[in-house]
Amino acid sequence: MKLNTRFVITALVSALALPLAVSAAQGEKKGKGTPMNFASIDKDGDGSISESEYVAALDGRAKADAAKKRFATLDKDGDGKLTKEEHAAGSKGGGKKKGDKKNQN
């Protein structure tokens, strides 16, 4: 009897804990450190990310001023749009500008 009781209790605890674990994992996916997918930011589908699209994507992660500064750092050619390459380089390299001595090692 004791073995059956332990099994039932273990099963109940596991069944109750699983939804909490799943919910916690989903919450972590939405965290600040999550890389943003280029296509999900490019809302108009024109193949580039405008400053307004970028700021909107960072809503809740960063203040608008910080998002605009980050955008300017990522926009290497200064055309007001992020290409896939600029976005990817920023995701990998922290958005360092060429020639920016403060950010170079």
- pLDDT one-digit tens code per residue, 46-58: 999 999 999 999 9
Instruction: Render 31-100 in DSSP notation, one character per residue.
Output: STTPPPPHHHH-TT-SSSEEHHHHHHHTTTTS-HHHHHHHHHHH-TT-SSEE-HHHHHHHHHHTTPPTT-
- pLDDT one-digit tens code per residue, 19-46: 766 666 555 444 455 567 899 999 999 9
- pLDDT one-digit tens code per residue, 66-103: 999 999 999 999 999 999 999 998 877 554 444 444 44
